[in-house]
């Protein structure tokens, strides 16, 4: 089998940020890298799961909701995937910045965190999710649309 494109990114030099991973027709896949790979610091499953519920809920309800195809966690627990359609790079960055500001400040019941709605609803960590959202929000502050590309 051929090695898929995302494995061709050199994970030894990756910095935190937002990177365009793939373009499939009009669908863009973005890598939201919240942790540097293989540095011993990863999202916990509870924090990541909570971020997933909050991020997906916010993104789909945002002004950009029609352009959001998918939000989901990376299995390596270093970030998230975001698939969009019809959004400019600047709109994607705005969406991500607003999403993480929302998550950083979130209080209350986690959307979808019930036995009926989720496959592991007890595995939630809102405090951890808020800490991770806050840390990544600082990374996002330093980004601009032109930086959202992997180095060739």
Which residues bind to Zn ion, rule: CB under 5 A? Answer: 118
State the nearest-atom distance from the C-beta of 8 to Zn ion, in Å.
30
To Zn ion, the closest distance from the beta carbon of 99 in angstroms equals 17
Quick one: angle between helices 89-105 and 45-61, nearest 10? 120
φ, ψ for residue 150, nearest 5 deg: -70, 150
Cβ-based nearer residue to Zn ion, 119 or 142:
119
For Zn ion, give the closer residue by CB, 101 or 118. Answer: 118
Structure tokens given for 99? 């999403």
Taking the complex as a whole, the smallest distance from the CB of residue 56 to Zn ion amounts, in Å, to: 9
The residue among 20 and 118 lying less far from Zn ion, judged by its C-beta, is 118
Residue owning tokens 């270093």: 78
């Amino acid at each position: 089998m051929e090695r898929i494109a995302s494995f061709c990114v050199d994970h030894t030099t990756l910095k935190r940020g937002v990177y365009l991973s793939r373009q499939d027709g009009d669908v863009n896949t973005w890598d939201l890298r919240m942790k540097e790979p293989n540095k011993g610091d990863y999202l916990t499953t509870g924090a990541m799961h909570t971020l997933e519920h909050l991020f997906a809920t916010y993104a789909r309800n945002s002004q950009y909701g029609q352009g959001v195809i998918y939000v989901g966690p990376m299995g390596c627990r270093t970030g998230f995937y975001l698939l969009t359609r019809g959004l400019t790079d600047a709109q994607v960055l705005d969406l991500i910045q607003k999403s993480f500001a929302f998550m950083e400040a979130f209080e209350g019941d986690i959307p979808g965190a019930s036995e009926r709605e989720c496959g592991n609803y007890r595995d939630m960590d809102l405090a951890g999710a808020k800490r991770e959202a806050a840390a990544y929000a600082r990374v996002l502050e330093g980004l601009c649309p032109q930086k959202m590309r992997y180095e060739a």
